[in-house]
């Protein structure tokens, strides 16, 4: 099986990516519970930017080639949006926990499908609109509005999902002119600049133990992105994308086993509905592709 079409290896890499990102989420939840979210995300981005620049410098053409873009404004918007989305999601971890946050965030593929029409001009058929509607019902199961126990903070991961979906669509849009390496470079460097401008105002001293965890957070972030890049290099995105849902399973496991979170029946049912609807939209996209 040739490079670029090794689906089994791609699936294994996507699952490994999900494990690493789930560990990253667990560390983020702890650190953001002890320190300011902006500072935690800023330090994480410093390491990410260094990682991105190192990769760019080793490729043909170096940093200048990686930075060359036909759409600098959209690239800057993408990078800023992702950094903001991470701040919102990590805040959700500290308020809601990993289980509920990821259950709601799992709706982002449905949001990508819904927003692909107005943002990219793509046609969304009635089957995908039906799946989006079903997925929204799943989100309502999780949020439980109108039952007297609705927590307004549950909207936080939904906002993060909208932001991440928009980021993904902008990434798809710039891919018409820019390479993956260019988009990756702008993601890391723009995010680092934006988070530094904000995060330095919220600096807090950290304990030695938490500096070790911060180091682990930075390493898992870089490792996760490297695994994801390798995954898309060896297999088609449409074949491996459904396995990205494993991150929700692994992150929920971290929340339950390490942070003592509870798995409510409405969250389990709602997440199942959302994932099923998301898998259907991914299948439809592959059929039409």
Per-residue pLDDT reduced to its tens digit, 5-42 = 677 888 888 889 889 999 999 999 999 999 999 999 99
| C-alpha–C-alpha distance, residues 18 and 73, integer Å | 30
| C-alpha–C-alpha distance, residues 210 and 150, integer Å | 34
Q: Read off the DSSP letter of residue 258.
A: T
Question: Per the confidence metrics, is the pTM higher than 0.75?
Answer: yes
- Whether pLDDT at 4 is above 60: no
Nearest to 281 by CA among 249, 246, 228, 241: 241
For residue 286, what pLDDT band results from cuts at 50, 70 and 90?
A: low
Query: Angle of helix 265-288 relative to helix 98-105, nearest 10 degrees?
Result: 30
Q: Where are the alpha helices (DSSP H) in 59-154?
A: 62-67, 72-96, 98-105, 108-120, 126-143
3-class SS of residue 118: helix
Q: Who's near 17: CB < 8 A, 6+ residues apart?
A: 224, 227, 228, 231, 244, 247
State residue 258 phi and psi, 5-degree precision. Answer: -100, -40
Q: Read off the DSSP letter of residue 145.
A: T
Contact assessment for residue 83 and residue 45, using Cβ atoms and an 8 Å cutoff = yes
For residue 264, what pLDDT band results from cuts at 50, 70 and 90?
A: confident
C-alpha distances (whole Å) from 67 to each of 10, 46, 58, 185, 225 are 27, 17, 13, 7, 18
Contact assessment for residue 1 and residue 239, using Cβ atoms and an 8 Å cutoff = no
Q: Read off the DSSP letter of residue 93.
A: H
Dihedral sign (CA 95, 153, 116, 288):
positive
| C-alpha–C-alpha distance, residues 135 and 253, integer Å | 22
- Whether pLDDT at 147 is above 50: no
Q: Which two tokens stand for residue 81?
A: 């949006």
pLDDT digits (tens, 9 = 90+) for 180-205: 889 889 999 999 999 999 999 999 99
Question: Locate tokens 């990993």: which residue?
Answer: 98
For residue 165, what pLDDT band results from cuts at 50, 70 and 90?
A: confident
> What percentage of the chain reaches a pLDDT higher than 70?
89
């Amino acid at each position: 099986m040739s490079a670029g079409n090794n689906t089994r290896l791609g699936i294994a890499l996507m699952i490994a990516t999900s494990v690493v990102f789930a560990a990253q989420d667990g560390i983020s939840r702890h650190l953001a519970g002890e320190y300011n979210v902006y500072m935690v995300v800023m330090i994480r981005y410093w390491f990410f930017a260094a990682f991105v620049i190192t990769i760019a410098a080793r490729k043909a053409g170096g940093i200048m080639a990686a930075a060359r873009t036909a759409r600098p404004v959209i690239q800057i918007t993408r990078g800023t949006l992702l950094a903001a989305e991470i701040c919102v999601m990590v805040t959700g971890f500290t308020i809601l926990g990993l289980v509920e946050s990821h259950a709601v965030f799992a709706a982002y593929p449905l949001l990508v499908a819904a927003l692909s029409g107005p943002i990219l001009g793509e046609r969304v058929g009635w089957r995908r609109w039906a799946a989006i509607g079903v997925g929204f019902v799943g989100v309502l199961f999780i949020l439980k509005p109108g039952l007297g126990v609705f927590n307004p903070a549950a909207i936080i991961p939904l906002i993060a999902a909208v932001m991440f979906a928009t980021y993904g669509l902008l990434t798809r849009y710039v891919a018409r002119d820019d390479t993956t390496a260019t988009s990756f470079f702008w993601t890391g460097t723009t995010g680092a600049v934006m988070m530094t401008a904000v995060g330095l105002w919220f600096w807090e001293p950290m304990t030695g133990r938490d500096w070790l965890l911060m180091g682990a957070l930075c390493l898992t972030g870089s490792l996760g992105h490297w695994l994801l890049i390798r995954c898309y290099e060896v297999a088609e995105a449409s074949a491996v994308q459904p396995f990205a849902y494993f991150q929700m399973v692994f992150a929920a496991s971290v929340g339950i086993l390490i942070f003592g979170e509870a798995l409510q029946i409405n969250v389990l049912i709602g997440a199942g509905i959302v994932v099923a609807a998301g898998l259907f939209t991914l299948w439809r996209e592959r059929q039409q592709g």
